Amino acid sequence: MKIGLDIMGGDFAPKATVLGAIEAYKVLQGHTIVLIGDKDAAISILSEQNFSPDNFEFVHTTEVIGMGEHPTKAVVQKPDSSISVGFKLLKEGAIQAFSSAGNTGAMLVGSVFSVKTIPGILRPAITTIVPKVKGGMGILLDVGANADVKPEVLVQFGVLGSLMAQNVYGIENPRVALMNIGEEEEKGNMLCLATYPLLKEASNINFIGNAEGRDLFGDHADVFVCDGYTGNIILKLAESFYVITRKKGFKDEFFDRFNYERYGGSPILGVNAPVIVGHGISNPEAIKNMVLLSKDMVESDLVGKITRAFQ
Amino acid sequence: MKIGLDIMGGDFAPKATVLGAIEAYKVLQGHTIVLIGDKDAAISILSEQNFSPDNFEFVHTTEVIGMGEHPTKAVVQKPDSSISVGFKLLKEGAIQAFSSAGNTGAMLVGSVFSVKTIPGILRPAITTIVPKVKGGMGILLDVGANADVKPEVLVQFGVLGSLMAQNVYGIENPRVALMNIGEEEEKGNMLCLATYPLLKEASNINFIGNAEGRDLFGDHADVFVCDGYTGNIILKLAESFYVITRKKGFKDEFFDRFNYERYGGSPILGVNAPVIVGHGISNPEAIKNMVLLSKDMVESDLVGKITRAFQ
């Protein structure tokens, strides 16, 4: 397996990304990490670490898409950027997964333009991990790919999240909940009111009803679906709470599981290859785990399973 | 001033409400608390506490609207419920404010049916307090009165929240932010995209742009506006986080300020009288503070100021 990593993506690239690649190399066996980006910079960091460049493959690129750049414009205008090249390699099958802690929008645009959406999928979604107080975790999607969605899209998110929970996180028969503002079917905004009956009818997911904001960290459900506007606000709010507990010196096993570093990144589900977007502030630990999550996504054949589910 | 309190509202009523009324009486000077509900039950609790019933006025009612009842049906079918009678007294001017820790929907329906929406206001909103890490607090609205809103409604929420922040919480020139998923004007869902230019044009508020989920507890803004679906999810998520920190024994001045007991309840803004909805699990401390917040709302003439702002 060849796992592509954008070494130019993220606030601390290429240092953090190359160091993360070294850490990933140490635990990955029989797989190759392909470092995509400024090869000279990478070699220089590797030599500082006395780590042989022969442990990696390199694809040199000359451009970088900045965090603040307009995604579509950037992907089109910078064909030799690490993100654009990464997706080219992914499309050609030269790598089996691609991840980057760079511009999220560019990663989304790249996914949809190059490897393309899986037939039958209306909109890809970005997922995130939600730790449970009692241990284990759930999945929340969408956290930002689609600010507005239709009811049918939310139902698909339920399927995508279930397949991810089952195949990558080993959660059997994952319970799917609709993020809402009341337990009852007749509660919610127009989107939820229209979505609930569709989720109830969906035979390929284990829909258990609505979840409220307070249910997210409990053992209420395994997959929480919502539009990307709501999910993104939830994600950033939860993250800020974690940051506050850390700043205040509260160390705790539950709060530690909020740490994005542990999970490495947020998979984009619904496209024809494993793609992961990392947090902009990714450190080497986060990068390492992003590469390992890439491997898990390839090994579990998540994309194949999603493709068959939507045939 | 006569402050009406529904003594039948909340999970621990009438005990918690009557005990809370006693605590409020001790700090309120020259004002009367009108206890609305089962007078015999109240008298019995008061005598247990050796507290003279002469310190209160009573309006006896024979019905109670349960927490799970359908709001509109309940208000119509239970004219002698404490909530229905409370609104009747409020409408007649027999009390100057009304609060209840009971059925939120019934409180909303009662507000709109009896004292009615202030002319010019499209939709009333329920507000909540958002503590800031560095001290002080902000206001978030709507947290559940309107699951779906139009852009014009969000602009009005900005005005309502600003007047509340200024007049009740003493925040000068409150900064208004739109809850969104990016800093830039062109970020967000369709609702936010349509709302941003209207907020920018509004001359009667100090609009400072978008706020993300991570900005809520910082010093980014004083008033955060969003639809009631989003606000309700934010509120319940933040509350659950507070509960988790408490269960884990993390005591901290910032987290303590999440404690709803301190604020007593969530005002319904945009109706022709001060109305406050308390948390269902309100204890005596919360009830006391709900009564004191009622007094502050009356004394600051918040309703008069809102009325003039929308003339």
Q: Which has more pLDDT, B192 or A133?
A: B192
Please indicate whether the domains covering B1-121+270-311 and B122-261 agree at the CATH topology level: yes
Q: What number is the average pLDDT over the span B142-146?
A: 95
Chain B residues with CB inside 8 Å of A190's CB? 147-148
For B61, the 3-state DSSP assignment is coil
Q: Which of A190, A233, A244 sits opposite B217 (nearest CB)?
A: A244
Q: Which of A147, A179, A190 sits opposite B188 (nearest CB)?
A: A147
Cβ–Cβ of B248/A254 closer than 8 Å? yes
Q: Which CATH superfamily includes the segment(s) B1-121+270-311? A: Isopropylmalate Dehydrogenase (3.40.718.10)
Q: Which CATH superfamily includes the segment(s) A122-267? A: Isopropylmalate Dehydrogenase (3.40.718.10)
Tokens of B198: 């209207």
Cα A120 off chain centre by: 20
Q: What number is the average pLDDT over the span A177-185?
A: 95
Q: Which of B192, B237, B245 sits opposite A213 (nearest CB)?
A: B237
Mean of per-residue pLDDT scores for chain B? 95
Tokens of A160: 């995508």
Work out the minimum CA distance from A217 to partner chain B, whole angstroms.
Answer: 8
3-state helix, strand, coil in chain A (%, to 5): 45, 20, 35
Work out the minimum CA distance from B167 to partner chain A, whole angstroms.
Answer: 28
Closest CA to A265 of A1, A2, A9, A8: A9
Alpha-carbon distances, residue A30 vs A26, A35, A157, A168, A223 (angstroms): 11, 16, 33, 20, 32
Query: Phi/psi of residue B92, each to 5°?
Result: -75, -10
Tokens of A305: 């399973």
pLDDT given for residue B172 in this prediction: 95
Chain B residues with CB inside 8 Å of A244's CB? 133, 217, 254
Cβ–Cβ of B189/A227 closer than 8 Å? yes
Helix then strand count (H, E) for chain A reads 12, 11
Indicate the pLDDT class of residue B255, thresholds 50, 70 and 90: confident
Lowest mean pLDDT among A65-74, A78-87, A145-154, A251-260: A251-260
Work out the minimum CA distance from B103 to partner chain A, whole angstroms.
Answer: 13
Q: Which of A181, A228, A232 sits opposite B232 (nearest CB)?
A: A181
The structural architecture, per CATH, of the domain A1-119+270-311 is 3-Layer(aba) Sandwich (3.40)
Indicate the pLDDT class of residue B246, thresholds 50, 70 and 90: confident
Helix then strand count (H, E) for chain B reads 11, 11
**Tell me, what's the ipTM?**
0.94
Q: What is the DSSP letter of A38?
A: -
Q: What number is the average pLDDT over the span B224-238?
A: 96
For tokens 């969000």, what's the residue?
B154
Lowest mean pLDDT among A14-28, A154-168, B136-150, B247-261: B247-261
Work out the minimum CA distance from A208 to partner chain B, whole angstroms.
Answer: 18
Q: What number is the average pLDDT over the span B12-18?
A: 96
User: Is residue A35 predicted with pLDDT exceeding 90?
Assistant: yes
The model's pLDDT over B270-296, given as tens digits with 9 standing for 90+, comes to 999 999 999 988 999 999 999 999 999
Cβ–Cβ of B250/A254 closer than 8 Å? no
Work out the minimum CA distance from A299 to partner chain B, whole angstroms.
Answer: 33
Q: What number is the average pLDDT over the span A135-162?
A: 96
User: Is residue A255 predicted with pLDDT exceeding 90?
Assistant: no
Beta strands in chain A (DSSP E): 2-6, 32-37, 57-60, 97-100, 125-131, 137-141, 175-179, 206-211, 223-225, 266-269, 275-277
Q: Please, is A50 exposed, middle or buried when counting C-beta atoms within 10 Å of its C-beta (0-12, 13-18, 19+)?
A: exposed
Tokens of A84: 């654009």
Domain boundaries, chain A: 1-119+270-311, 122-267
Indicate the pLDDT class of residue B252, thresholds 50, 70 and 90: confident
pLDDT given for residue B41 in this prediction: 97
Residues in A lying within 8 Å of B, measured between beta carbons? 133, 144, 147-148, 179-181, 188-190, 192, 212-218, 227-230, 232-241, 243-245, 248, 250, 252, 254
CATH of B122-261, one of 3.40.718.10, 3.40.1280.10, 3.40.50.2020, 3.30.1490.190: 3.40.718.10
For an interface test with B, which of A140, A241, A266 has the most B Cβ atoms less than 10 Å from its Cβ? A241
Cβ–Cβ of B241/A217 closer than 8 Å? yes
Chain A residues with CB inside 8 Å of B254's CB? 244, 248
Q: Distance between CA A204 and CA A160 in Å, rounded?
A: 11
Lowest mean pLDDT among A113-127, A248-262, B271-285: A248-262
Cβ–Cβ of A240/B147 closer than 8 Å? no
User: Is residue A253 predicted with pLDDT exceeding 90?
Assistant: no
User: Is residue B250 predicted with pLDDT exceeding 90?
Assistant: no
Closest CA to B277 of B60, B77, B123, B104: B104
Q: Distance between CA B296 and CA B101 in Å, rounded?
A: 18
Cβ(B101)–Cβ(B290) below 8 Å: yes
Q: What number is the average pLDDT over the span B42-47?
A: 98
Return the number of CB contacts < 8 Å for A and B. Answer: 121
Indicate the pLDDT class of residue A252, thresholds 50, 70 and 90: confident
Q: Distance between CA A271 and CA A268 in Å, rounded?
A: 7
Q: Which of B230, B232, B240 sits opposite A216 (nearest CB)?
A: B240
Mention every residue, 6+ apart, whose C-beta is less than 8 A from residue A249.
none
For B100, the 3-state DSSP assignment is strand
pLDDT given for residue B119 in this prediction: 97
Chain B residues with CB inside 8 Å of A252's CB? 248, 250
User: Is residue B251 predicted with pLDDT exceeding 90?
Assistant: no
Q: What number is the average pLDDT over the span B241-252?
A: 87
Mention every residue, 6+ apart, whose C-beta is less than 8 A from residue B215.
A240, B177, B221
pLDDT given for residue B248 in this prediction: 87
Work out the minimum CA distance from A148 to partner chain B, whole angstroms.
Answer: 6
Angle between helices A284-299 and A15-27 (to 10 degrees): 50
Cβ–Cβ of B144/A181 closer than 8 Å? yes
Tokens of B79: 């004219």
Question: CA nearest B250 in A: which residue?
Answer: A250
Indicate the pLDDT class of residue A260, thresholds 50, 70 and 90: confident
Angle between helices B151-167 and B302-309 (to 10 degrees): 140
User: Is residue A284 predicted with pLDDT exceeding 90?
Assistant: yes
pLDDT given for residue A153 in this prediction: 98
pLDDT given for residue A75 in this prediction: 93
Indicate the pLDDT class of residue A176, thresholds 50, 70 and 90: very high
Chain A residues with CB inside 8 Å of B240's CB? 213-218
Q: Which of B181, B218, B228 sits opposite A233 (nearest CB)?
A: B181
Chain B residues with CB inside 8 Å of A237's CB? 213-214, 216, 234, 237-238
Cβ–Cβ of B181/A144 closer than 8 Å? yes
Q: Distance between CA B82 and CA B13 in Å, rounded?
A: 12
Closest CA to B305 of B165, B174, B203, B207: B165
User: Is residue A173 predicted with pLDDT exceeding 90?
Assistant: yes
Angle between helices B15-27 and B284-299 (to 10 degrees): 50
Cβ–Cβ of B147/A241 closer than 8 Å? no
Mention every residue, 6+ apart, whose C-beta is less than 8 A from residue B213.
A232, A233, A234, A235, A236, A237, A238, A239, A240, B179, B181, B234
pLDDT given for residue B259 in this prediction: 79
User: Is residue A246 predicted with pLDDT exceeding 90?
Assistant: no
pLDDT given for residue B32 in this prediction: 97
User: Is residue A227 predicted with pLDDT exceeding 90?
Assistant: yes
For an interface test with B, which of A229, A253, A255 has the most B Cβ atoms less than 10 Å from its Cβ? A229
